Chain A
Amino acid sequence: MQNYLDGQMDASFFICVFAFFSFVCLSLSFWYYNKMVQLKKSPVELKDSVIQLMQTEKMTALGELSAGVAHELNQPLNVSKLICQGILNDIQKGRFSQEEAKQDLPEIVNQLNKMAGIIEHMRVFSSHKENTSKVIYDVNDAIEKAFSLIGAQMRDHGIVVNKELTKGLPKILGDATGMERVILNILSNARNAVEESGKKERSIGIKTYVMDNTKKICIEITDNGLGISKDVRDKIFQPFFTTKSALAPDGKPGKGKGLGLFVASKIIQSHGGEIFLDSHVGVGSTFKILLPPGA
């Protein structure tokens, strides 16, 4: 009887084990099938994800830029206001001179044109889609355009900017607005680095030149900020890696998304270029971008 029961239990045990393994195998097959389907889709999905990441980063960059644009608009706005006050004052005091107004009013038009240019530039920048149009351009133009959005803010924050842009550089082929975004991102990081360093003399340098040996065009952006430690340097171009806090003290989203340098490296790659970082903690950082000539 005992032998019979043992035999029955052995058979049940065998059936259970068999059923369990069958279930595991079926689940694994199902999972594998799904994975294969996903893998077949992955190039398209990956591309969509990168585009989405770039879009997210652009919105973050635009948020940060709005403060810079406010500084840029401030001066022409104040000059226009002062001229209007002057003319109004002359009318009220009965000393209005048409000749003088003829000289002063074009200055208001100049200042308004300056403001319209900044706003139009911001519109082009925000509606730009990466790599949709490749053009032949001068990197110095992309740098000057970036400074037209962030230069006044840096100046008003007491940061000394040293520009050494070599004239007559060979043109490059690629996404010009994308490159402007790269420059803005690195400048914005540099600004944060010098401001957080607590140093009295805060400076950012940018220079362009042609490498003697490779004939590549080089953009160097240097700051005397906090510097970046080696463990951070190794991960700095990875997506979602950030040293900035994800949340601001008030609980709202913070400055850090960890996408800026990742997107910058993608844009540089699309130019056939490379980006390097040299940094020393407490001394500062230098980002070096190498780009092949495009024409």
Chain B
Amino acid sequence: MPKILIVNDVAIVNKIIKKKLEQEEGFSVDTVLTGNEGIAKALENSYDIFLLDYYLPDINGDKVCEAIKASLNGQKPIYFTSSMDKTSMAEVIQKTGAQGYMDLAMDVDELAKQLKALTSRA
């Protein structure tokens, strides 16, 4: 069962995506609201994919991404989920070494499809 960690400060968004992915797609999903909680969870558990918002209440997503990458030797894919403009997002991805961007606001079915494709490839 692929494990996903979602770091996003909008609780209801986390709840809806978690429900969809767990009940329909066979994922195991943990969610946290802050960057520091995200780093702590990443150290405690083994995840296959991280979905990371950039603007978090405590620290920005780039710092969370760098911390997770450093602790896991950059082995697991990290995707940003912020609604930043494309140029700024490309800069963040390049700077942090994240795998890319995923739109949480897209159709939840489409999101699930993308995540399934990623985990089946891994």
Contacts and interface: CB of A to CB of B under 8 A. Distances in A.
A157 B85 contact: yes
Contacts of A41: none
Nearest to B60: A160
B12 A85 contact: no
Nearest to A107: B12
B10 A158 contact: no
Interface residues of A, number: 20
B83 A78 contact: yes
Contacts of B84: 155-158
A84 to B, nearest CB: 10
Contacts, number: 52
B12 A79 contact: yes
Given A79-B13, A158-B92, A86 B83 contact: no
Interface residues of B, number: 24
Given A93-B24, A107-B12, A85 B55 contact: no
A21 to B, nearest CB: 69
Contacts of B15: 86
A109 to B, nearest CB: 12
Contacts of A95: 23
A75 B83 contact: yes
Interface in B6-21: 10, 12-13, 15-17, 19-20
Interface in A70-115: 71, 74-75, 78-79, 81-83, 85-86, 89, 93, 95, 104, 107
14 contacts: A71-B83, A78-B83, A78-B104, A79-B13, A82-B104, A85-B107, A86-B19, A89-B20, A107-B12, A155-B84, A156-B82, A157-B84, A157-B85, A200-B91
Interface of B: 10, 12-13, 15-17, 19-20, 23-24, 55, 82-85, 87-88, 91-92, 95, 104-105, 107-108
Ranked nearest first, the 9 interchain pairs of A and B with the lowest CB-CB distance are A158-B88, A78-B105, A86-B16, A156-B84, A107-B12, A156-B85, A85-B108, A82-B16, A157-B88
